[in-house]
A and B are shown apart, each in its own frame.
Chain A
Amino acid sequence: MICTAQERRLPARHVGVHALARPPNNPAHRGIELQPFHAGLETGAPRSVLARERARIACAMLADCRFCAHDCGVNRLAGENGLCHAGAEARFFCAQTEVSDELELIPTFAVALSGCDLRCDFCITGASSWNPRAGAGFDARAMAVKAKAALQNGARTTMVLGGEPTIHLPAALEFVSLLPETARLVWKTNAHGSAPARELLNGMFDVWLADFKFGNDACAQRLAKVSDYVRVVEENLLWASEHSELIVRHLLMPGHVECCWQPVAEWLAAELPGVKVNLRTGFWPAWQAARHPELRGTVSTPESARAVDLAQRLGLNLVP
Chain B
Amino acid sequence: MKKHRSKKDCALPGKNQVSELLILPDGQILVHNLTPLFAGLLRKLNPDDEQISSRVTRHLSLHP
Contacts and interface: CB of A to CB of B under 8 A. Distances in A.
Decide if A and B are genuine partners.
Answer: yes
Contact of A298 (B20, B24, B64): B24
Contacts of A92: 13
B18 interface: yes
B3 interface: no
Contacts of A96: 17-18, 33, 35, 64
A107 B59 contact: yes
Contacts of B58: 154
Interface of B: 7-8, 10-11, 13-14, 17-18, 20, 22, 24, 28, 30-36, 39, 51, 54-59, 61-64
Contact of A284 (B10, B30, B61): B30
Contacts of B20: 124
Given A98-B35, A99-B35, A124-B32, A155 B62 contact: yes
Contacts of A106: 55, 57
Contact of A153 (B8, B56, B64): B64
Interface of B is mostly: loop
A97 B10 contact: no
A153 B59 contact: yes
Contacts of A320: 51, 54
Given A97-B35, A284-B30, A128 B11 contact: yes
B35 to A, nearest CB: 6
Given A107-B36, A298-B30, A99 B56 contact: yes
B49 to A, nearest CB: 13
Nearest to A110: B33
Contacts of A155: 59, 62, 64
Contact of B11 (A93, A146, A149): A93
A96 B17 CA distance: 6
Interface in A115-135: 124, 127-128, 131, 133-135
A136 interface: yes
Interface in A133-149: 133-136, 146-147, 149
Contact of B10 (A98, A134, A149): A134
B22 A97 contact: no
A135 B11 contact: yes
B54 A103 contact: yes
A150 B33 contact: no
A96 B14 CA distance: 7
13 contacts: A98-B33, A124-B20, A124-B32, A128-B11, A134-B7, A136-B14, A146-B14, A147-B64, A153-B61, A154-B58, A154-B62, A298-B24, A298-B30
Given A99-B57, A100-B32, A94 B64 contact: no
Contacts of B30: 282, 284, 298
